[in-house]
Structure 1
């Protein structure tokens, strides 16, 4: 069964949390009770990606500590104590009493995402396809971002599958890198001072 994520960015403005990405409010519109699609500029921090590697890093979804050397940023925390009213309406619609598929509800600040180190090039080690590894070396040397697919060393030995064990400095998950960059831009656009005042709120649905 597939798993999808609902993920939104909030900023702390005028003493309260409001959504600043997917339902980015244009000036002059009320905060709640507007028709869907009116008064908002639509943005998606991860472009609708069903990226199980990202899901694991955010909340431990679709992965295991036994097979991953790179643990989740934080265990699921549930919903924040206060959050955007529009997002609350969206969550209440999804989390109906008879819907048992919503799970791993959580939130993370921009500071926590950045301090994880997962958004920047980092030391990596795993079993890789040698040709793809060489392609990563070429692209990295040319100044391009590249996410090399690999089997974690904790998952076993993949030499029999034609893989080679390598260590390199690279990106663990480019969707996470891109999301952090987009959050930084939203923070700048809304003139928010602190990384603690920009966050993602998210949940998963099977």
Structure 2
């Protein structure tokens, strides 16, 4: 069964948390009077991606530390008590008795995402397809930003067949890297001062 993420970005503005990646076209901010008949401007932080590597790093979804050397940024925290009305509406809409598949709800500030170290180049090690790895490293040397797929050293030997062991400086998840950059841009556009005042709020469903 597939797993999807619902994810919003919020900023702490005028002493309250307000959604900043979707906003109501009439009055800039989604508030309690948002209706289904009006459209939204929208910045998709993860480009609609069903990226299980990203899901694992955000909240331990679709992965296990028993087989992964890089732990999740944080265990799921649940939804924050104070959040934008649009998030409350979206979560309550799907979380009804005949659709109780929402799980691993959580939130992470821009500071937490950046301090994880997962957004930039980091030291990686694992088992790779040699031809694919060499091609990726050549592209990196040309200045491209790309991600090399690898089998973690904690994985079983059967996953390593036909692969070679490497250590390198690379990106663990480019969707996470891109999301952090988009959050930085939203922070700048909304004139928010602190990385603690920009966050993602998210949950998963099967």
TM-score, structure 2 normalization:
0.95
Q: Which residue does the alignment assign to 1:89?
A: 89
Structure 1 outlier segments of 4+, above 6 Å = none
Q: Deviations over 1:85-104 (max 9, x none)?
A: 11101100111133221100
- Per the alignment, residue 194 of structure 1 pairs with 194
Matches of 2:144 and 2:160, distance apart in 1: 31
Distance in 2, Cα, partners of 1:27 & 1:38: 8
Task: Mark the runs of 5 or more structure 1 residues left unpaired by the alignment.
Answer: none
> Number of paired residues?
205
Q: Verify: 1:131 aligned to 2:131, yes or no.
A: yes
Query: Residue 26 of structure 1: CA displacement?
Result: 4.5
Q: Secondary structure at the match of 1:153?
A: coil
DSSP 3-state at the match of 1:135: helix
Partners of 1:135 and 1:144 in 2: CA distance:
11
Q: Which secondary structure does the structure 1 equivalent of 2:138 belong to?
A: helix
Q: 2:73: which partner in 1?
A: 73
Change (3 A) 1:160 1:104: closer
* 1:183 has 2:183 as partner: yes
* RMSD of Structure 2 on Structure 1 (CA): 1.5
User: What's 1:122 paired with?
Assistant: 122
Any idea what SS the aligned residue of 2:182 has? helix
Correspondence 1:142-161 to 2 at 5 A: 142-157=142-157, 161=161
State how far apart, in whole Å, the 2-side matches of 1:11 and 1:158 are.
45
Gaps of 5+ in 2: none
Query: Contact 2:128–2:164 (CA<8 Å) still a contact in 1?
Result: yes
Aligned residue number for residue 5 of structure 2: 5
How much has 1:38 moved relative to structure 2?
2.7
1:179-199, CA deviations, whole angstroms, 9 ceiling, x for partnerless residues? 000000000000000000000
